[in-house]
Structure 1
Amino acid sequence: MSTLTRMSHAPEHSPDASHRPPQKSAVSVAQLVAALPGAFTKLDPRQMWRNPVMFIVEIGAVLTTALAVAEPFLGGPGESGGSAVPPTFTWGIAVWLWLTVLFANLAESVAEGRGKAQADSLRQTRTDTTANRVTDYDPLRDPAALHATARGLSSAELQLGDIVVVTAGELIPGDGDIIWGIASVDESAITGESAPVVRESGGDRSAVTGGTRVLSDRIVVIITSKPGETFIDRMIALVEGASRQKTPNEMALNILLASLSIVFVVVTLTLNPIASYSDTSVSLPVLIALLVCLIPTTIGALLSAIGIAGMDRLVQRNVLAMSGRAVEAAGDVTTLLLDKTGTITYGNRRAAEFAPLSGVAMTDLVEAAALSSLSDPTPEGTSIVELAELQGFVRPTTLSGDIVPFTAQTRMSGVDLTGGGEIRKGAGSAVIDWMLASGPRGSGTVTAQAKAELDAQVQRISLAGGTPLVVATKSATGQARILGVVYLKDIVKEGIKERFAELRAMGIRTIMVTGDNPLTAKTIAAEAGVDDFLAEATPEEKLALIKREQEGGNLVAMTGDGTNDAPALAQADVGVAMNTGTSAAKEAGNMVDLDSDPTKLIDIVRIGKQLLITRGALTTFSIANDVAKYFAIIPAMFAGVFPGLALLNIMQLHSPASAILSAIIFNAIIIVVLIPLALRGVKYRPMNASSILNRNLLIYGVGGVIAPFLGIKLIDLFVSLIPGL
Structure 2
Amino acid sequence: MTEASTGDSPHVLPGSHSSVELMIGGMTCASCAARIEKKLNRMPGVQASVNYATEKAHVRLPAGTDAAAAIAVVRATGYTADLPPAPVRKTPRQETSTGVMEQDSDSRSLQDLDSDGASVKTATLRTRLSIATALTVPVVALAMVPALQFTNWQWLSLTLAAPVAVWGAWPFHRAAWVNARHGAASMDTLISVGVLAAFTWSLYALFFGQAGMPGMRMHFSVLPGRGGQEIYLEVAAAVTVFILTGRYMEARAKRRSGAALRALLQLGVKDVTVVREGMEHRIRIEDLAVDDIFVTRPGEKVATDGVVIDGSGAVDASLLTGESVPVEVGVGDAVTGSTINAGGRLLVRASRVGKDTQLAQVARLVEDAQSGKAAVQRLADRVSGVFVPIVLVLAIVTLTGWLLAGHSAEAAFTAAVAVLIIACPCALGLATPTALLVGTGRGAQLGLLIKGPEVLESTRRIDTVVLDKTGTVTTGRMSLLEIHPAAGVDEGQLLRLAGAVEHASEHPIATAIAAAATDWLRTWDGEEQLPPVTSFAASSGWGVSGVVEGHAVAAGRASWLTEQWAQGLDRDLLAALSAAEQAGRTAIAVGWDGRARGVLVVADTLKPTSAAAVAQLRRLGLRAVLLTGDNSRAAHAVAAAVGIDEVIAEVLPEGKVDAVRALQDQGRVVAMVGDGVNDAAALAAADLGIAMGTGTDVAIEASDLTVMRGDLMAAVDALRLARSTLSTIKVNLFWAFAYNVAALPLAIAGLLNPLLAGAAMAASSIFVVSNSLRLRRFKASPVAAPADHLRPSPQPSLR
Q: Same fold (TM over 0.5)?
A: yes
Q: Which residue in the other structure is 2:242 paired with?
A: 99
1:40-72 Cα offsets, whole Å, 9 max, x none, are 7998959x99xxxx9843221122333345445
Q: Which residue in the other structure is 2:452 paired with?
A: 323
Q: CA deviation at 1:374?
A: 5.0
| Aligned residues of 2:307 and 2:350 also touching (Cα < 8 A) | yes
What is the distance in 2 between the residues matched to 1:174 and 1:112?
Answer: 28
Write the mapping of 1:316-465 to structure 2, written as runs, cut at 5 A.
316-340=445-469, 344=473, 351-354=480-483, 369-373=498-502, 382-383=515-516, 398-401=531-534, 423-425=554-556, 460-463=579-582, 465=583
What is the distance in 1 between the residues matched to 2:537 and 2:697?
Answer: 27
1:206 correspondence with 2:334: yes
Write the mapping of 1:459-538 to structure 2, written as runs, cut at 5 A.
460-463=579-582, 465=583, 467-471=585-589, 485-488=599-602, 499-514=613-628, 516-536=630-650
1:611 correspondence with 2:754: no
One-letter identity of the residue aligned with 1:467: R
Q: 1:37 aligns with which of 120, 123, 136?
A: 123
What is the distance in 2 between the residues matched to 1:386 and 1:187?
Answer: 25
Mark the CA change 1:299 to 1:422 in structure 2 (over 3 Å): closer, same or farther. Answer: farther
1:64 correspondence with 2:187: no
1:15-34 Cα offsets, whole Å, 9 max, x none, are xxxxxxxxxxxxxxxxx999
Q: 1:271 aligns with which of 394, 398, 419?
A: 398
Mark the CA change 1:572 to 1:424 in structure 2 (over 3 Å): closer, same or farther. Answer: farther
Mark the CA change 1:404 to 1:240 in structure 2 (over 3 Å): closer, same or farther. Answer: farther
Q: Which residue in the other structure is 1:710 paired with?
A: none
What is the distance in 1 between the residues matched to 2:394 and 2:542?
Answer: 75
What is the distance in 1 between the residues matched to 2:239 and 2:364?
Answer: 33
Q: CA deviation at 1:253?
A: 3.6
The secondary structure found in structure 2 opposite 1:209 is coil
Q: Which residue in the other structure is 1:167 paired with?
A: 295
Q: CA deviation at 1:518?
A: 1.6
Mark the CA change 1:295 to 1:249 in structure 2 (over 3 Å): closer, same or farther. Answer: same
What is the distance in 1 between the residues matched to 2:625 and 2:233?
Answer: 63
One-letter identity of the residue aligned with 2:227: A
1:254-291 Cα offsets, whole Å, 9 max, x none, are 32454555555544443344445435567566425314
Q: Which residue in the other structure is 1:251 paired with?
A: 378
What is the distance in 2 between the residues matched to 1:603 and 1:487?
Answer: 34
1:669 correspondence with 2:669: no
What is the distance in 2 between the residues matched to 1:391 and 1:230?
Answer: 42
| Aligned residues of 1:345 and 1:490 also touching (Cα < 8 A) | yes
What is the distance in 2 between the residues matched to 1:152 and 1:316?
Answer: 30
Q: CA deviation at 1:248?
A: 3.4
What is the distance in 2 between the residues matched to 1:391 and 1:128?
Answer: 45
The secondary structure found in structure 2 opposite 1:103 is helix
Mark the CA change 1:276 to 1:503 in structure 2 (over 3 Å): closer, same or farther. Answer: same
1:405-443 Cα offsets, whole Å, 9 max, x none, are 99xxx8998565599978455xx7xx97x999xxxxxx9
Mark the CA change 1:320 to 1:627 in structure 2 (over 3 Å): closer, same or farther. Answer: closer
Mark the CA change 1:396 to 1:117 in structure 2 (over 3 Å): closer, same or farther. Answer: closer
Mark the CA change 1:289 to 1:201 in structure 2 (over 3 Å): closer, same or farther. Answer: farther
Q: What TM-score, normalized by structure 1, do the two folds share?
A: 0.63
Mark the CA change 1:112 to 1:595 in structure 2 (over 3 Å): closer, same or farther. Answer: farther
Q: CA deviation at 1:621?
A: 3.4
Q: CA deviation at 1:557?
A: 3.9
Mark the CA change 1:129 to 1:347 in structure 2 (over 3 Å): closer, same or farther. Answer: closer
The secondary structure found in structure 2 opposite 1:163 is coil
Q: CA deviation at 1:580?
A: 4.4
What is the distance in 2 between the residues matched to 1:549 and 1:85?
Answer: 72
Q: Which consecutive residues of structure 2, in runs of 5 or more, have no partner in the other structure? A: 1-117, 129-170, 212-222, 779-799
Cα root mean square deviation, aligned: 5.7
| Aligned residues of 1:247 and 1:324 also touching (Cα < 8 A) | yes
Q: Which residue in the other structure is 2:345 paired with?
A: 216
Q: CA deviation at 1:602?
A: 0.6
Write the mapping of 1:107-186 to structure 2, written as runs, cut at 5 A.
107=250, 109-116=252-259, 119-120=262-263, 123=266, 125-131=268-274, 147-148=277-278, 153-158=283-288, 162-169=290-297, 175-178=304-307, 184=313, 186=315
Q: Which residue in the other structure is 1:601 paired with?
A: 715
What is the distance in 2 between the residues matched to 1:165 and 1:315?
Answer: 29
1:314 correspondence with 2:443: yes
Mark the CA change 1:276 to 1:415 in structure 2 (over 3 Å): closer, same or farther. Answer: farther
| Aligned residues of 1:574 and 1:589 also touching (Cα < 8 A) | yes
Q: 1:303 aligns with which of 399, 411, 432?
A: 432
Give the count of matched residue pairs. Answer: 590
Mark the CA change 1:370 to 1:567 in structure 2 (over 3 Å): closer, same or farther. Answer: same
Higher relative contact order (CA 8 A, sep 6+): 1
The secondary structure found in structure 1 opposite 2:462 is coil
The secondary structure found in structure 1 opposite 2:253 is helix
| Aligned residues of 1:183 and 1:199 also touching (Cα < 8 A) | yes
| Aligned residues of 1:179 and 1:222 also touching (Cα < 8 A) | no
One-letter identity of the residue aligned with 1:84: G
Mark the CA change 1:254 to 1:578 in structure 2 (over 3 Å): closer, same or farther. Answer: same
Mark the CA change 1:148 to 1:659 in structure 2 (over 3 Å): closer, same or farther. Answer: same
Q: CA deviation at 1:93?
A: 4.8
Q: CA deviation at 1:604?
A: 0.9
| Aligned residues of 2:692 and 2:710 also touching (Cα < 8 A) | yes
What is the distance in 2 between the residues matched to 1:172 and 1:164?
Answer: 16
Greater shift, 503-512 or 378-387, is seen at 378-387
Q: What TM-score, normalized by structure 2, do the two folds share?
A: 0.58
One-letter identity of the residue aligned with 1:599: M
The secondary structure found in structure 1 opposite 2:197 is helix
Mark the CA change 1:364 to 1:661 in structure 2 (over 3 Å): closer, same or farther. Answer: closer
What is the distance in 2 between the residues matched to 1:220 and 1:534?
Answer: 41
| Aligned residues of 2:586 and 2:601 also touching (Cα < 8 A) | yes
What is the distance in 2 between the residues matched to 1:381 and 1:554?
Answer: 44
One-letter identity of the residue aligned with 1:92: V
One-letter identity of the residue aligned with 1:197: V
One-letter identity of the residue aligned with 2:614: F
| Aligned residues of 2:194 and 2:421 also touching (Cα < 8 A) | no
Q: Which residue in the other structure is 1:650 paired with?
A: none
What is the distance in 1 between the residues matched to 2:302 and 2:523?
Answer: 47
